[in-house]
Amino acid sequence: MADEELKRVRTQLKESLTEPMIKQLLDDLNDEKVFGEEEVESILQKNPERADRARCMIDSVTKKGPTASRILIDKLQKRDKNVYDKVGLHKLTVGPPPTEDKPMNKRVKEVSSSSRQENFSPSPRQHEKEEYAMSSEPRGVCVIINNENFTNPENNRQGSRKDAVALEEVFRFLGFKVNMHKDLSAEKMKEHMLEYSKQQHDGDCWVCCVLSHGNSECVLGCDGNLCPTEDIFSPFNGKNCPSLLGKPKVFFIQACRGSKTQEKLLVSDDAVTSDTGKEFYTIPKDSDFLFAMSTVDGYKAYRSSEEGSWFIQSLCRHLREGSEGGDDILTVLTRVNDEVSKKEGKVKDKQTGEYYDAKETPISSFTLRKKLIFRKP
């Protein structure tokens, strides 16, 4: 793979690249959206020596995977064939280029209109791993936003600190750098997300946990204003945050998503329900996301003032156990769904004063392209 080839010639390449060539390659990588402008400036400003700049550029590209590495190799071949040959990249073996399918638009239209299945084969992704890398030190950044105390004291979320502490402990255990933010206004949440998205992310993964009140499409700031979840997620897509392109971006949200309560039904344990000639490839800007919500749309989520929320406490326990067993995140979340769905409690309705049966079902959606396994260091 291209990233392995870059690692193989790293030392020779670092010594061979001139200062003008490094800057030219950085411009090329910026044009190809491998690096954002902030990343380029960071490499130049933090590494005044030529060799350090070269090393930082090479290492940053290899961390982004084979696609980014292939782009750098191709640009080097175009810019400086002598160095390309000297370090041995000319020996890199690649498969035959895919044939160009010019009438693509027509083929897509035909499939859409008649629902016929065409014998269309996408370009092969040679030797692509089926699992996201999870070996960087630290693994990445885990941001926790714990909105516990609100302008209106009636909205205070007793017990939320238990969740924040549990999340901090488990993600430190998993090798992440943890940044804790407490009692943020809606505007501050948006600002923090934008600030984080502009940073250089050298880790293999990004995690964000939000603990607050909410509704179908928003979470509540401590000032009582609503922050759309889209303003939390979108800053980290591949276009807005290039340094996380191709890396998993995971969001855990503990918040109500409506005022409805879920009906409980009796089920037995054995119940069955049916109801251009280059080897690199492109991915949509919204790839590699995972969103795990404490409850389905329109319904309440539950939290104990003494023990924390059902969802977060179950999540932290199964994340730790799953990491030790090598389980992928979807397996972990399935176990969380099972455990939380079986819980029930009695909750007093604030308006009527009567008690009702509390039930909760977490829900997840994702655009992950590979298995995501949180491996502890």
Q: What is the mean pLDDT of residues 122-145?
A: 79
Catalytic residue selected from 208, 256, 316, 318: 256
Catalytic residue selected from 56, 205, 209, 213: 213
Q: What is the mean pLDDT of residues 255-268?
A: 79
pLDDT band at 78 (very low <50, low <70, confident <90, very high): confident
Q: Which residue has the higher pLDDT, 108 or 216?
A: 216
Note the CATH architecture for domain 2-91. Answer: Orthogonal Bundle (1.10)
Whether residue 113 has pLDDT greater than 60: no
Q: Compute the distance between CA of residue 124 and CA of residue 326 in angstroms, rounded to an integer.
A: 28
Q: Which residue has the higher pLDDT, 190 or 274?
A: 190
Q: What is the mean pLDDT of residues 249-273?
A: 75
pLDDT tens across 204-229, in order? 999 999 999 999 889 999 999 999 99
Query: What's 140-258+283-366's CATH class?
Result: alpha beta
220: which strand partners? Answer: 226
Q: Compute the distance between CA of residue 223 and CA of residue 152 in angstroms, rounded to an integer.
A: 8
Q: Reply yes or no on whether 213 is catalytic.
A: yes
Q: What is the mean pLDDT of residues 272-284?
A: 49
Whether residue 82 has pLDDT greater than 90: no
Q: Using alpha carbons, select from 71, 82, 66 the residue that is nearest to residue 5.
A: 66
Whether residue 96 has pLDDT greater than 70: no
pLDDT tens across 139-163, in order? 999 999 999 999 999 999 999 999 9
Residue 26 CB-density burial (10 A; 0-12 exposed, 13-18 middle, 19+ buried): buried
Q: Which two tokens stand for residue 376?
A: 């502890």
Q: Is the separation of the CB atoms in 232 and 193 below 8 Å?
A: yes
Mean pLDDT for all residues in the chain: 84
For the chain, the domains span: 2-91, 140-258+283-366
Whether residue 117 has pLDDT greater than 60: no
pLDDT at 48: 86
142: which strand partners? Answer: 178, 207
- Chain-centroid distance, C-alpha 98: 30
Q: Compute the distance between CA of residue 329 and CA of residue 256 in angstroms, rounded to an integer.
A: 23
Whether residue 269 has pLDDT greater than 80: no
The answer to whether the 2-91 and 140-258+283-366 domains have the same CATH topology is: no
Whether residue 41 has pLDDT greater than 70: yes
Q: Which residue has the higher pLDDT, 192 or 126?
A: 192
Looking at residue 370, the DSSP 8-state letter turns out to be S
pLDDT tens across 45-58, in order? 888 888 889 989 99
Share of residues in the chain with pLDDT > 70 (%) = 84
Q: Reply yes or no on whether 256 is catalytic.
A: yes
